[in-house]
Amino acid sequence: MEPRTIKLGQRVTVTTRRRKPEPARLSADRIVEVAIGYDAVTMRSVARELGTGPASLYAHVSGRAELDQLVTGKVCAQWRIPDPDPDHWDDQLRTAMTDLLALYRAHPGVARCAMGMIPTEEGVLAVSEKLLAILVAGGVPPQHCAWFVDVASLYVGSVAVEEDIWRERAAGQDVESVTEEAVVAAVHDVFAGLPADRFPLLTAMADTMTTGDADERFAFGVDLLVSGLVALSRR
């Protein structure tokens, strides 16, 4: 496994981008397309990328809130969820959640848009429907099905948001010190260096605390949720 660099999105600060002075020919679709293509989803950066000022976007999109909706809708539409297979519903959930994380990773900044969103967009509703189908086919109690969709989405989203935050923090830092490994090593040293009398477990478990890369840790969380669902259903 190669050392994944957290670097990215190095804030170009080129204020004089403005490609050509041709009239912009905008549309909601173009705006959303650009928004999911660049790391930081902001009105101004999207407008800049389209060669206009932010005010121009408001003819096609009511504001940041609607852009968030459209962006997550478009990304969710790329989320391939299989038809339910009652014998493997739990594995289907696991891979579905992993796929969503991969999608968020491919579109930095989108997880933040999705956070706290009321699902009304087509694409978002479609994936909820398909997740529900897998859960229902698995024989999970209806109330658990319903709530699990929310909890699972929230968990995947928050992992992605955390990674986005790390990425942003890494941008504008010296590149060598922000590999995932370097950060983990630093945290390890913090734990190991604590006073052992007041932090007996953290010092003793410094290795264990810092074991595993982002994927392993995420997989553990997914395992917890799915295993928990199985356990609750059997009660």
Residues at the interface with a copy of itself (CB under 8 A): 65, 115-116, 118-120, 125-126, 128-129, 132-133, 136, 142-151, 154-155, 157-159, 161-162, 165-166, 169, 183, 186-187, 190, 194, 198-202, 205, 208-209, 211-212, 217, 220-221, 223-232
Residue among 7, 38, 52, 199 that touches DNA (CB under 7 A) = 52
Q: Report the alpha-carbon distance of residue 203 to residue 190 in Å, rounded.
A: 9
**Contact partner at residue 185 from DNA, a copy of itself, none, CB < 5 to 8 Å by partner kind:** none
Q: Could you give the 3-state DSSP secondary structure of residue 127?
A: helix
C-beta closer to a copy of itself: residue 102 or 165: 165
Q: Under the criterion CB under 7 A, does residue 24 sit at the interface with DNA?
A: yes
Determine contact, residues 122/176, Cβ cutoff 8 Å. no
* Cα 169 to Cα 9, 45, 111, distances in angstroms: 10, 19, 16
Closest CB to a copy of itself among 20 and 198?
A: 198
* CB-based contacts of 180, cutoff 8 Å, min separation 6: 3, 4, 5, 6, 213, 214
Q: Supply φ then ψ for residue 98, to 5 degrees.
A: -65, -40
Which C-beta is closer to DNA: that of 29 or that of 181? 29
The span from the first CA to the last CA of the chain, in angstroms, equals 40
Identify which of residues 42 and 78 has a Cβ nearer to DNA in the complex: 42
Residues that bind DNA (CB under 7 A): 11, 13, 15, 23-26, 40-45, 51-56, 58-60, 63-65
